[in-house]
Structure 1
Amino acid sequence: MQYLNWLVAAFSLLPFSLIAQDNWQQTLKTQLEQMEKASPEKWPPHVKTLKNLAEQNPGEWLLQYYAGWAATQLSFRSSKSDAESLCDQAEPFVKRALELQPENTETLTLMGYWLSARINAVPTRGATLGEESRKYAEKGIAANPDNPRAWLVKALNIYYTPKLFGGGKQKAKSAVDTAGDKFARFKPSNALAPNWGQQVYDMLLANYK
C-alpha cells in the first residue's frame, strides 16, 4: 500500500511539471503573437509580462532572451527619454540569456543588438560600444552563418558607424545584401524560435532605394 501511494504521488507530480512548462510556453507564444500585431505604444504591458515570466523561470534561457529582446526592441521604438530606461530594463535578461547559452547564435546576436540600442539611446557611446556590438554580431555569424539577425546587426552597426571610422551606407551594402539573402532563406525551427528582424531589415533596405 505504501508503494502504491508513492507511485500515485509520483505520477501526479509529472503532469503538473509538464503543464507548468506548457503554461509558460503558451503564454510566451501568445505574447509574441500579440506584440507582432501591436503598435509600439501598446508594447509596455507585454514587455512587463515577459519580464515577470523570465523572473519566475530564471533557468529558461528562451524566456530571458525574449524579455531582453522585447525591452531592447521597444527602446529602439521609443523616445530618447524612455530609450535609456528600457535598455536598463533589458540588461539583466540579455546578460542572463547569454550566460545560459554562451555559444548560441541568437544570444550572441541579441547582446550585439542590445549594445546598439544603448548607442541609439546615447549616441556618444558609439565610440566605445560600436566595436563591441560588431564583435558580438560576428560571433553570432560564426556560431551560425545562416542567422539573418546576426547579419542584420552587423549591417546596422556598419551603416550607422561614421564613414570616417570605416562605416557608412556604401560600406554596409554587402552585409545588408547578405542579411536579405539569409532572411529570404530562413525558417524558424519551431513556433518559439527567434524569428524577428524582417521589418528592421526592410526599413534599412529602403534607404538603398
Structure 2
Amino acid sequence: MLFPLLLCVMITVYGQEKDGWQTDLRQQIMVLETAAPAQWPPRIDTLMALANAHPEEWLLQYYAGWAATQLSFKSDKTAAEALCKKAEPFVKKALEMQPGNTETLTLMGYWLSARINAAPSRGASLGGESRSYAEKAIAADSTNPRAWLIKALNIYYTPAIFGGGKKRAKSTVDIVAEKFAAFKPDNALAPRWGQQIFDALLASYR
C-alpha cells in the first residue's frame, strides 16, 4: 500500500509545482487591475522574476513585458524610457516564442508605441512599425480588441499631414468599440487589458 500512497503524493506535489506559476500570475494580474501606478513596480519585479524562473512559459514573458510597458505610459519621460528598456527582452522573447499569436504581436506594437511616447522623435521611424504589428495582430485574430486599439491609437496620434489624426481614426475607433463589446477572455490568464485605454480615447470624441 506504501507505493500507491507515495505515487499519489508525488503526483499532487508535481501538480502544485506545475501550476504554481499560474496561481502566482493570476494573483499579480488581479492586483494590477486595481493598483495605483505607484504600486506597480514591485509587481513588475515579481512578474519578471517569474518569467526568468520559467523561461519556457511565453505567457509569463508576455505579462512581464506588458506590465512594464503599461506603466511607462503613466510615467515621466525618464522613467518611461527606463521601463521600455526593462520591458524589451520580455516583449521580444514572448514574440519569439509565439510569433503568430495575436496577443504577442499586439504587445510588440504597444511597446513600440511606448518607445515613441517616451521619446516622440522616434515617431517617424517607429510609428509605421508599430502599426504594422497591429495589422499583423488583426490578421492573426480579427476579434482581438487590443489589436484594433493599437491600430486606432497609431492613427489617432499620427499627424494629419501624414495620414493620421482624430478624424481619420474615428472609423477604426468604432471598430474597437464593437470588438470590446463582444470580447470575452478565454480564461483567467488570457489578456484582457485595454478597456480603460479605449474609454479615455473614446471620451475625446464626446
TM-score, normalised via structure 1 length: 0.94
1:114 equivalenced with 2:111 (yes/no) = yes
Match of 1:61 among 51, 55, 58: 58
Match of 1:199 in 2: 196
Match of 1:91 among 88, 95, 106: 88
| TM-aligned CA deviation for residue 14 of structure 1 | 3.4
Cross-structure match for 2:15: 18
5+ residue gaps, structure 2: none
Which position in structure 1 is the counterpart of 2:179? 182
Match of 1:163 in 2: 160
The count of aligned residue pairs is: 206
Q: Name the aligned partner's letter for residue 111 of structure 2.
A: W
User: 1:76 aligns to what?
Assistant: 73
Q: Partners in 1 of 2:100 and 2:7 — Cα distance?
A: 36
For 1:61, the aligned partner's letter is: W
1:99-119 Cα distance to aligned partner (Å, 9 max, x none) = 111110000000000000000
1:22 to partner: Cα distance: 1.9
For 2:193 and 2:138, the matched residues in 1 are separated by 16
Corresponding residue for 1:130? 127
Give the distance between the partners of 1:44 and 1:194, measured in 2 at CA: 19
| Counterpart-to-counterpart distance in 2, 1:6 and 1:97 | 41
- What amino acid maps onto 1:139 in structure 2? K
Q: C-alpha distance in 1, partners of 2:134/2:3?
A: 51
Instruction: Quote the Cα distance in structure 2 between the aligned partners of 1:128 and 1:31.
Output: 34
Deviations 1:15-36 (A, max 9, x none): 3332112211111111111111
Which residue of the partner structure matches residue 51 of structure 1?
Answer: 48
TM-score, with length taken from structure 2: 0.95
Aligned AA for 1:67?
Answer: A
Q: SS at 2:186's partner residue? A: coil
Report SS of the residue matched to 1:43: helix
- Partners of 1:10 and 1:162 in 2: CA distance: 64
CA apart distance, 1:9: 6.9
The percentage of counterpart residues that share the same residue type is: 63
Q: Distance in 1 between matches of 2:72 and 2:183?
A: 26
CA distance in 2, matches of 1:75, 1:90: 9
Q: Which amino acid aligns with 2:153?
A: L
CA displacement, residues 37-88 of structure 1 (integer Å, 9 cap, x when unaligned): 1111111111110010000000101100000000000000111110000000
The alignment yields a C-alpha RMSD, in angstroms, of 1.5
Structure 1 moving runs of 4+ over 2 Å:
4-17
CA distance in 1, matches of 2:109, 2:2: 52
Structure 1 unpaired stretches of 5+: none
**In 2: Cα distance, 1:13 partner to 1:115 partner:** 45
